Each structure stands twice: as C-alpha cells, then as structure tokens.
C-alpha cells in the first residue's frame, strides 16, 4: 500500500512515516551498502513499540516480532534484490525468531514459532540463500 511516498507495511500495528521509511529501505534494499541498517531498524522498531501507548502484551510483542520476520522473509524471497542484501536479511532473521522464542510461553505460541522456523527452512532452500 502506498501512503504518500512511503509504503505502509500491514504486518505492523505502528505506522509512522519515519519507521515506514526505514522498513521500506530494508524491504527493498534501498541502502544495501549499509549493513547496519538492519540493526538500526530492529532497534528502532523495539524502541518505538516500547515508547508507544500500545499494551505491551504477549500478543502485541508477537505481532511486532512476526512482522519483522515477515518483512525480512519477503526481502529474502525477492529475486530482484541483490544476493548480498538477501543474504544479510537471512543472517538477521534469527533475531525476531529469537525474540519470539523468548516470549513463547504456551504450547500454541511454541507451535506457531515452529511453523515460522519451518517456513524459513523451506523458503531459504527454495530461494537458495
């Protein structure tokens, strides 16, 4: 979805022009020679999430980390992006998965997490990352 010059990422509850601009740079490799962009983006997401008035429930955290996973997975699967950037996204996709593992307390959330790992495994083999 377009919003002005910036894409709206429906995976995420928080939508600001600034964070969507960073998401867009990550998703579309608009600053592919800047590997620190991924760390900056993940930190900015966490800071924005914590500073917002959103109820910091397990479900809200799950949605944030799953959104990060989805955005990185989309970049990994995008054959139009450079292999270097796709590999960098693959190298960092463990971060939201690790956060999801940390907050997964019940069997249902652990099952959802296993499904994400399986999806990553299958996808990364298909796209040869």
Summarize pLDDT for 55-70 with one digit per residue, the tens. 677 788 999 999 999 9
Task: Find the largest Cα–Cα distance for the chain.
Answer: 41
Q: Does residue 122 form part of some domain?
A: yes
Enclosing domain of residue 84: 56-129
H helix intervals, the chain? 17-27, 36-51, 58-77, 83-92, 94-103, 107-126
* Res. 4: pLDDT tops 70: no
Tell which residue, 75, 70, 101, has the closest CA to residue 86. 75
* Res. 6: pLDDT tops 70: no
pLDDT value of position 79: 93
Half-sphere exposure of 114 (CA within 13 A, CB side): 6
What digits encode the pLDDT tens for the residues 9-58? 888 888 889 999 999 999 999 999 999 999 999 999 999 888 876 567 77
* Res. 100: pLDDT tops 50: yes
pLDDT value of position 55: 63
Q: Does residue 43 form part of some domain?
A: no
Q: Does residue 24 form part of some domain?
A: no
DSSP state of 81: S
pLDDT value of position 2: 43
Domain total in the chain: 1
On whether the CB atoms of residues 68 and 45 are closer than 8 A, the answer is yes
Q: Does residue 108 form part of some domain?
A: yes
d(C-alpha 14, C-alpha 31), whole Å: 22
Structure-token pair, residue 67: 């959104």
């Amino acid at each position: 979805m377009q919003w002005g010059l910036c894409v709206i990422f429906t995976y995420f509850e928080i939508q600001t022009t600034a964070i969507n601009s960073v998401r867009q740079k990550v998703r579309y490799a608009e600053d592919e020679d800047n590997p620190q962009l991924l760390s900056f983006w993940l930190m900015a997401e966490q800071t924005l999430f914590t500073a917002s008035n959103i109820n910091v429930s397990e479900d809200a955290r799950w949605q944030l980390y799953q959104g990060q996973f989805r955005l990185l997975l989309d970049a990994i699967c995008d054959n139009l992006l450079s292999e270097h950037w796709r590999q960098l996204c693959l190298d960092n996709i463990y971060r939201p998965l690790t956060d999801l593992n940390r907050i997964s307390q019940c069997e249902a959330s652990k099952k959802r997490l296993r499904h994400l790992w399986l999806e990553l495994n299958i996808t990364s083999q298909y796209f040869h990352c």
